[in-house]
Amino acid sequence: MDDSDTARRVAIVTGASSGIGEAVALALLAQGWLVFGASRSPSERIVASGFRHVPLDVTDDGAVRRAVHDVARQTGRIDALISNAGYSLVGAVEDTSDAEILAQMDVNFMGVWRMARAVLPVMRCQGARGQGRILHVGSIGGSIGLPFQAAYSASKFALAGMTEALSGELADTDIDVVLVEPGNIRTGIGAARRVAQAGLASSPYQERFQRALAVIERDEAQGWPVEAIAAVIVGAVTARKVPLVIRAGPWVERFAPLAKALLPSRWFEKLLIASYR
């Protein structure tokens, strides 16, 4: 690290090899941040951009602790953590194995928990009351249980609860915790999507599942550009004050959690099911 780095704000971005994480890392770089992009392998764009790749699997607690320690040792500070690493598992509850569910939770939920647990000792030593910002990338699916995405929704519901609890625990510090819940975004999530293996064979849900999957893929293709959600996330990282939860994406999806709160539950369920037909 050269002398010019010591004056720069420091961010760790997980899942930085593609999609939202890559776009956020590049946007922070453009604003002068010193960005450490954590992922299992770097993208070509990231290597060319000059930000620092951190080889990391968020399911490995030892690797998480070592990575955060190395960043803090090099820079002396961590101003922001953007936990974005995750993937989508689809399939009916009945068709999804324990191993598939646990793998989903390990990345989408426990990976975020591990990262927060590792950076907090660093952030608490910054300033008189601790200082930093932890941003978790959740999903509208963390407010609404999405048919044939139960494991994914469960991981994001858990993340929402953990974020709210953590914010309360840090109330007497200057460390902010923010949950960003995007709707459909045009990223590479479809390429990384995993399908419950039992759902690929003779599942009684096969016809409905295939229709729902077609809707999921259509909505993703028509979603916000990844640069738009990256701008929201970077704004949440750099703003002086931020709310606990920020929902972003197509307006219908941002409105859906409010509709769920206002409508009778069975009415809302019927509307949700109809949207997947």
Domain that holds residue 81: 3-275
| Torsion of the alpha carbons at 275, 150, 231 and 136, rounded to the nearest 10 | 150
> Comparing C-alpha atoms, which of 25, 6, 16, 60 is closest to residue 234?
25
Q: What's the start-to-end Cα distance of the chain, in Å? A: 54
CATH of the domain at 265: 3.40.50.720
**By mean pLDDT, which of 2-11, 102-111, 148-157 is the weakest?**
2-11
Q: Is the pLDDT of residue 4 over 60?
A: no
Least confident of 6-15, 97-106, 117-126: 6-15
pLDDT in tens, 154-205: 999 999 999 999 999 999 999 999 999 999 888 766 677 899 987 676 789 9
Contacts of 139 (CB under 8 A, 6+ apart): 152, 153, 156, 181, 182
- Are 25 and 19 within 8 A, CB to CB? no
Task: Work out the angle between the directed axes of helices 61-75 and 111-124 (0-180°, nearest 10).
Answer: 30
Mean pLDDT, the chain, integer: 91
- 276: annotated active-site residue: no
Over residues 208-225, mean pLDDT: 90
pLDDT above 80 (res 111): yes
Q: State the number of CA atoms in the 13 A half-sphere of 235 facing the CB.
A: 11
| Proportion of the chain above pLDDT 70, given as a percent | 92
Active-site residue identified among 87, 152, 205, 276? 152
Least confident span in 60-64, 69-73, 267-271: 267-271
Distance CA 134, CA 117 (A): 11
pLDDT value, residue 187 = 78
pLDDT at residue 45, as a whole number: 66
pLDDT at 195: 92
Q: Tell whether the model's pLDDT for residue 57 goes beyond 60.
A: yes
Domain total of the chain: 1
18-32, pLDDT tens digit by residue? 899 999 999 999 999
Tokens of 104: 């989903």
* Confidence (pLDDT) at 276: 81
Give the list of residues 6+ apart from residue 87 with CB closer than 8 angstroms, or none: 104, 107, 108, 189, 192, 193, 194
Comparing 123 with 223, the larger pLDDT belongs to 123
